[in-house]
Structure 1
Amino acid sequence: MRQRGVALITAVVLVAIATVLAARVGTDAALDLRRTSGIGALNQAWNVALGAEAWAAQILRDDLRDTELDDLTDTWAQPVPPLPIDGGTIEGDVEDMQGRFNLNNLLTADGGVDDASVQRLARLFQLAGVDPRWAGMLADWLDADSVDRFPDGAEDGVYLGQVPPYRTANGPINTTTELLALPGFSLEDYRRIAPHVAALPAGTPVNLCTATPLVLAALAEAGTDFGDAEALSRNRESGCFPRIADLQATLDAEQFQALQGRISETTNWFRVVSVVSIGTSQLTLYSLLERNSAGGVRAVVRSVGTE
Structure 2
Amino acid sequence: MRRNQQGIALMTVLLVMSLALLITAGMLRSHRLVLHSSAQQIHQLQMRTLAFAGESWAREHLRNLIRDPKVAVAAGQAWTSGQPQLRIDNGQIEVDIEDLAGRFNLSALLGKGPADAVLVQRWLRLQTLLELPALDAGVLQGQGLSEISQLRGLPGVDSQWYERMRPWIALLGNEAPVNINTAPATVLATLEGVTPELARQLVANRPLQGYASVEDFTFSPALIGLGIQAEGLGINSRWFRITTHVRVGQSRFCLESDMVGNLQTGQWRLLQRRFLAPQHNEHS
Tell me the TM-score normalised to structure 1 length: 0.76
Q: Which of the residues 30, 36, 57 maps onto 1:34?
A: 36
1:228-248 Cα offsets, whole Å, 9 max, x none, are 43x345324734369622324
Residue matched to 1:70: 73
Instruction: State yes or no: 1:94 paired with 2:97.
Output: yes
Q: Which of the residues 6, 13, 18 maps onto 1:11?
A: 13
Cα separation, 2, equivalents of 1:187 and 1:82: 39
Q: Which of the residues 234, 241, 248 maps onto 2:204?
A: 234
1:80-134 Cα offsets, whole Å, 9 max, x none, are 49964146321221110001011111034xx3231422322111111111112x1
AA partner of residue 90 (structure 1): I
Residue matched to 2:280: none
Cα separation, 1, equivalents of 2:240 and 2:85: 21
Distance 1:223 1:232, change over 3 A: closer
Where 1:222 maps in the other structure, the secondary structure is: coil
2:188–2:199 Cα contact (<8 Å) kept: no
Higher helix share: 1
Residue matched to 1:271: 241
AA partner of residue 136 (structure 2): A
Instruction: Compare CA radii of gyration and give the structure with the larger one.
Output: 2
Cα separation, 1, equivalents of 2:109 and 2:74: 25
1:78, distance to aligned residue in structure 2 (A): 2.6
Cα separation, 2, equivalents of 1:183 and 1:280: 41
Instruction: State yes or no: 1:20 paired with 2:22.
Output: yes
AA partner of residue 103 (structure 2): R
2:212–2:235 Cα contact (<8 Å) kept: no
Cα separation, 1, equivalents of 2:148 and 2:107: 10
AA partner of residue 93 (structure 1): D
Distance 1:193 1:82, change over 3 A: farther
Cα separation, 2, equivalents of 1:20 and 1:237: 74
Residue matched to 1:222: 193
* Count of aligned pairs between the two proteins: 269
AA partner of residue 66 (structure 2): L
Q: Which of the residues 255, 259, 274 maps onto 1:303?
A: 274
AA partner of residue 203 (structure 1): E
Where 2:205 maps in the other structure, the secondary structure is: helix
AA partner of residue 218 (structure 2): L
Residue matched to 1:54: 56
AA partner of residue 8 (structure 2): V
Indicate the RMSD between aligned Cα atoms, in angstroms.
2.9
Cα separation, 1, equivalents of 2:211 and 2:104: 17
Q: Which of the residues 174, 193, 208 maps onto 2:146?
A: 174
Cα separation, 2, equivalents of 1:72 and 1:246: 15
Q: Which of the residues 207, 227, 242 maps onto 2:179?
A: 207
1:189, distance to aligned residue in structure 2 (A): 1.4
Instruction: State yes or no: 1:284 paired with 2:241.
Output: no
- The runs of 5 or more residues in structure 2 that have no matched partner are 278-284
Question: Bigger shift: 176-185 or 206-215?
Answer: 176-185
Cα separation, 2, equivalents of 1:59 and 1:191: 30
Tell me the TM-score normalised to structure 2 length: 0.82
1:250-306 Cα offsets, whole Å, 9 max, x none, are 2659642xx33x111111100001122345654322111111222221212122229
- The runs of 5 or more residues in structure 1 that have no matched partner are 144-169
Where 2:242 maps in the other structure, the secondary structure is: strand
Question: Bigger shift: 6-15 or 18-27?
Answer: 6-15
1:59–1:75 Cα contact (<8 Å) kept: no
Cα separation, 2, equivalents of 1:243 and 1:3: 103
Residue matched to 2:281: none
Cα separation, 1, equivalents of 2:184 and 2:48: 30
